Structure 1
Amino acid sequence: MNHTAPDINAEVVQQDTQAWLEKAVIGLNLCPFAKSVHVNQRLRYVVSSASTPEDLLKELAHELLFLKRADPDEIETSVLIHPQVLTDFLDFNDFLGAADALVEDLELDGELQIASFHPRYQFAGTEVDDISNYSNRSPYPTLHLLRESSIERATETMADTDAIYEANMQTLEKLGLEGWKALGLKA
């Protein structure tokens, strides 16, 4: 489902997102669980045509229900990329409350959850260009829909999941802003 406005090229949006996944998320091992889902082609990319938060919420509901019904061996996780709406990080951040409420309204709490990525992602208490923010910076505003059962299986294989965050910070600190830019990712 790649419905986009004429001025948005869904193929380019998807390619930019896939390049970010391959070079940053997998390449820098920011998420040790992403590689197998990607290699086994169980990641669904959806480029949204939404231009309002209300339209995005409708698409999010559709995608949550689609993922719930999908066979996990075929589609384990999904990214809903929305290049035309919530491009301001504060608006995006505010929207996350509505997204989480939607998961509850659809009675998917405990079954599915949403992780958030944005080109201007900024953790509370950090400066805009703090390298730690780049662990959640993607080429376009993106909602990552995850099965909780997949997260549980993945975390069972790790003794200390907090170590992922710590390793990410070390990797990003070592890489620095210049190193991030050298990856050639759209930002």
Structure 2
Amino acid sequence: MLLLVNLLPANRYYTVPVATIANHVFAKTQVQVINWIGPDKINKFVFTKMNLTTDEKIIAATKLWLERAVIGLNLCPFAKAVHVKNQIRYVVSSAATHEDLLRDLMRELEMLAETPATNIDTTLLVHPYVLTDFLEYNDFLDVADAALEDMDLEGLLQVASFHPQYQFAGTQPDDIENYTNRSPYPMLHLLREASVVQAVSAFPEAEKIFDKNIETLRSLGHAGWNDLRLVKASPPLEN
């Protein structure tokens, strides 16, 4: 069996035996394999031939988004360092209710608070089975903030938000600026306040990052975003 494979950064394609790809797979991480094979083959090969579990597929899609959008477009100048150092914890929640997700969130907040930053600097808690509607998700952010207060973690940790339907106030659903916070799946980003302060202090004009991101996305446009070939979920997923 042969597959059409993008082997090089240039958009040139070659046919190579599946066995050759399989040998390459064992020497690479999931995201490296995705980049090596080419985004148009992710679902056909990486997600099926490798027999990844559902959670592994979700994490692979999340890492691809992080590398190509968040880091690739420099939407967060602080993300690359923790990614390269493998200091990001990826967790897929099986929660199907708000209550179950809150329990998972509190567990992950506690773990992050008790773990040295050199081991885990930040956590991405992906919850594909609950809060797939953005308005419900947005309401839950108040619950997340209340959990921080109840756990006496205010000032130590914070929760940032990413969602496939993310929409800033005053925008239309399809406005390109919303894509700065659009992720493949609903997720809660757990951060250390100290790490945020340190990163901001080391970055000149950090207060302009948001405006710069809007300019980047407007220059990119929807066609440019689609060219990133990110994995798209078909929400709501079934657990």
Normalising by structure 2, what TM-score? 0.74
Residue 140 of structure 2 is aligned to residue 108 of structure 1: no
For 1:125, the equivalent position in structure 2 comes to 170
Residue 82 of structure 2 is aligned to residue 31 of structure 1: no
CA distance in 2: counterparts of 1:18 and 1:30, whole angstroms? 15
4+ residue runs over 4 A deviation: none
Amino acid in structure 1 at the alignment position of 2:197: E
Deviation of residue 167 (structure 1)?
Answer: 1.2
Deviation sequence 1:4-32 (CA, Å, 0-9, x none): xxxx7000000000000000000000000
CA distance in 1: counterparts of 2:181 and 2:146, whole angstroms? 21
CA distance in 1: counterparts of 2:89 and 2:193, whole angstroms? 16
For 2:204, the equivalent position in structure 1 comes to 159
Amino acid in structure 2 at the alignment position of 1:155: V
Deviation of residue 186 (structure 1)?
Answer: 2.4
CA distance in 1: counterparts of 2:78 and 2:228, whole angstroms? 21
For 2:98, the equivalent position in structure 1 comes to 53
Q: Secondary structure at the match of 1:90?
A: helix
Amino acid in structure 2 at the alignment position of 1:111: L
**1:173-184 superposed matches below 5 A:** 173-184=218-229
From 135, 145, 167, the counterpart of 2:190: 145
From 138, 143, 146, the counterpart of 1:98: 143
CA distance in 1: counterparts of 2:145 and 2:222, whole angstroms? 31
Deviation sequence 1:55-106 (CA, Å, 0-9, x none): 0000000000000000100100000000000000000001000011000000
Deviation of residue 164 (structure 1)?
Answer: 0.7
Q: Secondary structure at the match of 1:44?
A: strand
Which of the two has higher C-alpha Rg?
2
Amino acid in structure 1 at the alignment position of 2:156: E
Deviation of residue 161 (structure 1)?
Answer: 1.4
CA distance in 1: counterparts of 2:203 and 2:119, whole angstroms? 24
Q: Secondary structure at the match of 2:189?
A: strand
**1:54-73 superposed matches below 5 A:** 54-73=99-118
CA distance in 1: counterparts of 2:136 and 2:147, whole angstroms? 17
Amino acid in structure 1 at the alignment position of 2:167: Q
Amino acid in structure 2 at the alignment position of 1:186: V
CA distance in 2: counterparts of 1:153 and 1:141, whole angstroms? 27
From 1, 5, 13, the counterpart of 2:58: 13
CA distance in 2: counterparts of 1:142 and 1:135, whole angstroms? 14
Aligned residues: 180
Any gaps of 5 or more consecutive residues in structure 2? Answer: 1-52, 233-239
Q: Secondary structure at the match of 1:45?
A: strand
Deviation of residue 170 (structure 1)?
Answer: 1.0
Q: Secondary structure at the match of 2:124?
A: strand
For 1:44, the equivalent position in structure 2 comes to 89
Deviation of residue 132 (structure 1)?
Answer: 0.5
Aligned-pair RMSD on alpha carbons?
A: 0.8
CA distance in 2: counterparts of 1:110 and 1:17, whole angstroms? 27
